[in-house]
Amino acid sequence: MSHADGSAQGEAGGGEAPLMAHGSVLKTGILNGKIATWLFLGSEVMFFTGLIGAYIVLRFGQDTWADPTAADYPLNIPLTAANTFLLICSSVTLVWALQSIQEGKRAAGNWGLFLTTLFGAVFVGVQAYEYYALFVHEGMRPDSDIFGSCFYAMTGFHGLHVFLGVVAMAVLTVMGWRGCFGPKKYAPVEFTGLYWHFVDLVWILLFAIVYLM
């Protein structure tokens, strides 16, 4: 392992390096932070697989399940679809922010980070409203039935991840406005972005599995 000096170090997949002031790289030429982020995401894959796997197995083990064609089906699909759209938008604004920072467009990068934070916060807010409506109006609670416990476990843990991502994005936004990022110093945005895109990816799967299937 060698320590980089901020001018010539690891590269991002055969292209330009995500330069850091005090980053370090492995012999592979990849920043330690990127390796660590991907290892963390690998553990997250297994975590959500446990939840999704339990959901699928429990569902196959049941003869009856929440019926989407029934009049009293509790889930609000249009609202959740709009929320899914918001999360996709947040991933796009984050890609835009990173690209802007890499190209030295600081203001655009800061706005991209701010919009990502905003979209993420609205997502969490809409999910909180959804939970309120399910609890109060639909009477659907985690202890109502297996569907309820699966639903709250899966969407709740995902929501917690989004909330933590929003906090991280808010910190990055403040750092951005303070001028902490630039064309040669954007690794924190890229690494946090990997986490954010992963959370978006998990939601794409959860939306299909929990809400549409």
Alpha carbon distance 192, 38 (integer Å): 11
42: left (phi over 0), alpha (psi -120 to 50) or beta: alpha
Contact between residue 108 and residue 96 where contact means Cβ atoms under 8 Å apart = yes
Type of residue found at 193: G
Applying CB under 8 A, which part among 95-103, 121-129, 134-142, 168-176 lies near other proteins?
95-103
Integer-rounded Cα Rg, in Å, for the chain is: 20
Selected binder of other proteins within 84, 110, 116, 173 (CB under 8 A): 84
Of residues 40-79, which lie at the interface with other proteins (CB under 8 A)? 41-43, 45-46, 49, 52-53, 56-58, 60-64, 68-69, 77-78
The distance between the two most distant Cα atoms of the chain, rounded to a whole number of Å, is 63
Selected binder of other proteins within 34, 158, 161, 185 (CB under 8 A): 34
Note whether 1 binds other proteins by CB under 8 A. no
* Beta pairing partners, 3: 24
Query: By CB under 8 A, how many residues form the interface with other proteins?
Result: 65
Selected binder of other proteins within 145, 153, 163, 175 (CB under 8 A): 145
Note whether 138 binds other proteins by CB under 8 A. no
